[in-house]
Amino acid sequence: MQQDQNIKGFTLLELLVVVTIVMVISAVAYPNFSSWSKDREVRKSAEQVSTMLSTITASVQRGNYSFVQLMVTPQKDKIEILLDQLAYSENPSNAGLIRRKIWSLWLEGYIDKTNKAKIDEALDLFNAGKLEKAKIAFSEIIELDPNYVEGWNKRATVRFLLGDFYGSLKDIEEVLKRQPRHFGAISGSGLIHIHNSNFLEAYKSYKKLIEIDPQNGDSKRFLPMLERKLYGKSL
């Protein structure tokens, strides 16, 4: 069938070429590997290449081309592919798995190890309930990398918990400029609008959210309530 031979722009031949390229890289790297055996980073990289090769080969043999596509696609495009899958997911459990993958990729959107260390520090402060310090830490991350979406989103969450709803909404606006389908930010905006009794804007947020994530529990919980407040009945 055509669908089996060309999955979202990747032909079977193209996928096999990818596997071949990875094999060539492995073959070139392996002869030098013994002389670098004491280098932990090199060993780790070689193991990752070997694991990726095995996974790609097994996936191609099973006909699981969409998984291979995700593995060879840049991170930003991976997120868009997963968001597309989320929009068409009819199973809550499957939607939850996709959601967690997206969150992981959003969180890993840092540029270098320095930023990662700062993000880990900010998250530790947040998880410890040190919200004022966490806000400062996320502000520093935003200053370092304004395009890091989760910097804005995490600061929006901190500001929300501190009761700074205006500041939280402003951060959410920055998130949505960079990632219009950020379901976490959209859900947060809905909560703030409900808190402010701005039910029409809350309704718009959750209607948008359910288009992006049809299995989202917040939309299913709040939309009927908002419809009754606005229109006197659930639509």
pLDDT band at residue 57 under the 50/70/90 scheme: low
- The last residue of one of the domains, among 54, 72, 90, is 72
According to DSSP, the residues that pair with 10 across neighbouring strands are: 7
In this structure, the answer to whether residues 45 and 114 fall within a common structural domain is no
**pLDDT recorded at residue 47:** 59
pLDDT, residue 82, reads 95
Where residue 148 sits, what CATH number does that domain have? 1.25.40.10
| Residue 125 within any structural domain of the chain | yes
Mean pLDDT computed over 124-131:
96
pLDDT tens figures, 59-96: 556 655 454 454 445 566 899 999 999 999 999 999 99
pLDDT digits (tens, 9 = 90+) for 24-39: 444 444 444 444 444 5
For the whole model, what pTM was predicted?
A: 0.68
Residue 93 lies in a domain: no
Q: Whole-angstrom Cα distance, residue 134 to residue 158?
A: 7
Cβ atoms within 10 Å, residue 97: 14
Q: Is the domain of 147 the same as that of 207?
A: yes
Q: How many CB atoms lie within 10 A of CB 169?
A: 19
Same domain? For 211 and 129 the reply is yes
Number of domains forming the structure of the chain: 2
Q: Which domain holds residue 181?
A: 105-231
- Compare 12 and 212 and report the one with higher pLDDT: 212
**How many residues are present in the chain?**
235
Task: Looking at the structure, tell me whether residues 64 and 118 fall in a common domain.
Answer: no
Segment holding 10, helix H or strand E: strand 10-11
212 in the same domain as 113: yes
Give domain status of residue 162, yes or no. yes
Q: How many CB atoms lie within 10 A of CB 114?
A: 10
**For the segment 151-182, what is each residue's pLDDT rounded down to a tens digit?**
999 999 999 999 999 999 999 999 999 999 99
